[in-house]
Amino acid sequence: MYHYNPETALEELTEDAALPHPVHIRDMIVRAELSPGRATDLNRKFQTYLHSFGEAQAAAKLILEELVKP
């Protein structure tokens, strides 16, 4: 499981096409020892990821809601 391990998360993303949950990405960023500039850059990228993840969840929900209709 990829929780808190960026290498494993990247491997699983490549193999299974599963996106890591944003909470785990955030925790990976917090746990990493980053320079202030790199932390700021990654946080900006994380905000984009968080927005995209939410949009993907919303789209998946619409599809699944259609699929469960009789």
Q: Is the pTM of this model over 0.85?
A: no
Domain positions in the chain? 6-68
How far CA 57 is from CA of 22, 32, 67, in Å, comes to 12, 27, 15
Whether 1 shows a pLDDT value over 80: the answer reads no
CA 21, 23, 24, 29 torsion: positive or negative? positive
Which residue has better confidence, 48 or 20?
48
For residue 55, pLDDT over 60 is answered with: yes
